[in-house]
Chains A and B, each alone.
Chain A
Amino acid sequence: MTMQPAVGSLAVRSRSGRRKPGALPLFVASAAAAVTFFAATREARAVPSFARKYQTGCQTCHTVYPMLNPFGEAFRRNGYRFPSRNGGVDSDSEKSPMLQLGQEEYKKTFPNSVWPGKIPESIPLGVMFNGSVPVNLPGSEAKDQAGNTFTWGGIAAEVHLFGAGALSDTLTYFTQVTIADSVDIETAYLLWNDIVGPSHAVNLWVGRLFAPQLTSFGLHSSYLSDTMMPAVSVAGLYNPSGTFTLGQGHTDGAELNGTLAHRFDYAIGWVASSNASGLSMPNAEDAYAHIGVKIGGVSFDGEGEGSGTGVPDPLKPWAERSITFDVFGYHGMANLDNGTGVVSPTMQRDRFNALGAALRVHFDSLMFTAGGQAEFHQSPYQGSAAAAGVAGAPNTDSARAFVQYDELDYVIFPWLVPGVRAEITQTTVDGGDAGTLIRLIPGIALLPRSNFRLILTGDIERATGLPTTGSWAAAGGFVSPPLVGTPPSANGQRSNFKAEQIQLTAGVSY
């Protein structure tokens, strides 16, 4: 099957894969913009609202935040509630003064009275500043695209305002407003926990979720990357208007989830479909499911008999011996710009399916995480643009991609965690060229103070071929293979491993 020319604001490749004359500046600009976007959205979360509520330090739940320790993961999974001890409830652990909007005993008089609730006497607000400064190494394509080696431009990238807490022992909430170039409600959802059956078995979370839960771990469960699953927009590799990124936030919808027998967890979600700018919002067609199992270590909910409730060494709350395995499936739909319009975007509906798995192994202070997902897109490409007297032609070719990641971390001290991460993205075009991007990310996570973290990472890349958008930016990459042949082609060649960038990310929360 032959590729149709991709035409769009960011599309720079012709049918043969050659770069169009004069397209390089646009390519560089768009790639830099995309890279800036992905770099700027590197976020981290530790929520001082919870520290205030329970009058406890960050290290109760985190190592180098936002990385959660096993207790913190149990807290998150339980709907931001402390694991129960001896049949207790979350408010048993609550230490900050609460204003009762109705004493708990009003449950006895329901429905003749309002179901009781409570709010903290002080506003449950947390604030976090995040920023990062990249150094684009000499000779790198990152430097070529950015036009500089170093800039302070990202040091104050964003401010997060958190509001999180509990309305009752079963109803909790989490909200997050991010102030960057714009103000966004990034997360705002209610968590109705323990709806029926045993504790934690059936929970319903509704609103703007952090992300679809496709694994047993939180969105930010990585020391070196903002998210555990790579922020690779496969749709964005094929079509510059594609924004869908599997497993990333923030997603409007509802999720039914729970923990069964302390060692199994699941999530079933129905969330909004994605939409290219300028197109009408599609019906919510996206749905997903995940199941996970954990052997050894702290149980998923931090409850149960024996070792499930705690780590072996209280001085090392991150260290346990366990294996966690997850599988998931995702069906989605996206409205894309098919590129055939002259001015306005023209809709092309791309349905896609994804299958994936994840593995995490803890061996005391050593942690290994691996995962991968295959995405099958029905019609992600842009077609040919309309020209004078000639109608544009959509492209209905399908495409596939495989994204894989591995991360190895070792907690030397609770404030010092070196690690290395690899992200591999492979695109497979029907009847056309394939491409591969390999990113190696060595780094170190530091916690000079409990609420102040620094993460230093490098970015070493190698690429074979280029996506149809002409850039690996949607996979977080800078590098492109050398152009060879007559006419020059970007595909079929392989670049050497190149050190592209060093980045320092800082965060302060209070």
Chain B
Amino acid sequence: MSAHVSRTIGKITAAVAVAAAVASIPSTPQLAAAADSGGTIKGTVTAEPSKYLPDTVVFLKQVAGAYKARTVDMDQKGMKFIPRFLAVTSGDSVRFLNSDTVDHNVFSPDIDPYNLGMIKPGASSMHVFTKTGGYTQLCSIHPEMIAYVWVGQNPFSAVVDAQGNYSIKNVPAGTYTLSAWNPKLKTSDKSVTVKAGETTEIKVSIAR
């Protein structure tokens, strides 16, 4: 199943189709403008052990540009974080919702730790991410709950689907460093050259 998110900014419309549990990568003016001259990076991630594969994001390390801040939702429903993995850009906000009938909390011990306190049913709490990296999202009331927020320098990132497929679209032409982040596994960086209107395929492997 996939979700289709579209957003109109000015006169340019960009569309991104991603897996339901995967955060959308909204367009920005710069990103949308790049759509005309940008390319796509796609491929498959293989993980060893494979059971950790779903918690993987593929991203470009540095892409010059100014990216407009946005707000993305992460819900707590059925005693789970939804989605489990969210990819945002530095400066973006994540609004943590509580759609359950019990109290929740959100905190992260990583990079730039925060604790959003108690979130009552139906309420929400916001956090702005300013430092890049992977953040574990925990609920101190329900220690079995977990989610991840990946904060990139740029919006050119994609969370893999269940088969490990990823696709980063509208990438400005140029040469970049492609990498991946997973809370348990590591990978080696790869250089990738993107040409306008073309698709570049890159396989990524992650392991201990």
Contacts and interface: CB of A to CB of B under 8 A. Distances in A.
B29 to A, nearest CB: 36
Given A102-B144, A103-B144, A113-B140, A108 B109 contact: yes
A113 B110 contact: no
A95 B143 CA distance: 21
Contact of B208 (A88, A102, A114): A88
Contacts of A99: 144
Nearest to A107: B109
Contacts of A183: none
Contacts of A87: 208
A92 B49 contact: yes
Contact of B144 (A86, A92, A101): A101
B136 interface: yes
Contacts of A182: none
A109 B51 CA distance: 25
Given A86-B48, A88-B208, A103 B109 contact: no
A101 B143 contact: yes
Contacts of A86: 48, 207-208
A452 B185 CA distance: 39
Interface string B107-118: 001100000000
Contacts of A497: none
18 contacts: A86-B207, A86-B208, A92-B51, A92-B52, A99-B144, A102-B143, A103-B138, A103-B146, A105-B110, A105-B146, A105-B183, A106-B138, A108-B109, A108-B110, A108-B136, A109-B109, A113-B140, A114-B143
Interface pairs A-B: 5 shortest CB-CB: A102-B143, A108-B109, A103-B146, A105-B136, A87-B208
A106 to B, nearest CB: 6
B145 interface: yes
A309 to B, nearest CB: 15
Contacts of B51: 92, 95
A106 B141 CA distance: 12
Given A105-B136, A105-B138, A113 B208 contact: no
Interface string A110-130: 000110100000000000000
Interface string A390-419: 000000000000000000000000000000
Interface string A67-105: 000000000000000000111100011010001111101
A92 B207 CA distance: 11
B146 A100 contact: yes
A90 to B, nearest CB: 11
A93 B52 CA distance: 11
Interface string A460-495: 000000000000000000000000000000000000
Contacts of A101: 143-144
Contacts of B49: 88, 92-93
Contacts of B144: 99-103
A100 B143 contact: yes
A101 B145 CA distance: 10
A101 B51 CA distance: 19
Interface residues of A, number: 19
B interface residue count range (under 10 / 10 to 19 / 20 to 34 / 35 or more): 10 to 19
Contacts of B208: 85-88, 92
Contacts of B138: 103, 105-106
Contacts of A95: 51
A58 to B, nearest CB: 22
B76 to A, nearest CB: 14
A103 B145 contact: yes
B48 A113 contact: no
Contact of B143 (A92, A103, A108): A103
Contacts of A109: 109
A106 B142 CA distance: 12
Given A88-B49, A92-B49, A106 B143 contact: yes
Interface in A121-164: none
Contacts of A114: 143
Contacts of A88: 49, 208
Interface in B1-50: 48-49
A86 B49 CA distance: 10
Interface in A262-305: none
A162 B140 CA distance: 33
Q: Choose among A86, A88, A103, A108 the residue with the greatest number of B CB atoms under 10 Å from its CB.
A: A103
Contact of A116 (B109, B140, B143, B183): B143
A105 B146 CA distance: 9
A85 to B, nearest CB: 8
Contacts of A106: 138, 143
Interface string B41-73: 000000011011000000000000000000000
A93 B143 CA distance: 23
A434 B144 CA distance: 65
Given A86-B207, A103-B146, 8 more contacts: A86-B208, A93-B49, A101-B144, A103-B143, A105-B110, A106-B143, A108-B109, A116-B143
Contacts of B48: 86
Nearest to A89: B208
A88 B138 CA distance: 24
Contacts of A100: 143-144, 146
Q: Choose among B110, B143, B146 the residue with the greatest number of A CB atoms under 10 Å from its CB.
A: B143
Interface in A208-257: none
A105 B140 CA distance: 12
Contacts of B110: 105, 108
Contacts of B146: 100, 103, 105
A114 B138 CA distance: 13
B68 to A, nearest CB: 31
A423 B146 CA distance: 57
Contacts of B145: 103
Nearest to A92: B49
Nearest to A93: B49
A113 B140 CA distance: 9
A116 to B, nearest CB: 7
A85 B49 CA distance: 10
A342 to B, nearest CB: 63
A109 B49 CA distance: 26
A490 B146 CA distance: 74
A273 B118 CA distance: 54
A495 B144 CA distance: 68
A506 B100 CA distance: 53
Nearest to B108: A105
Contacts of A93: 49
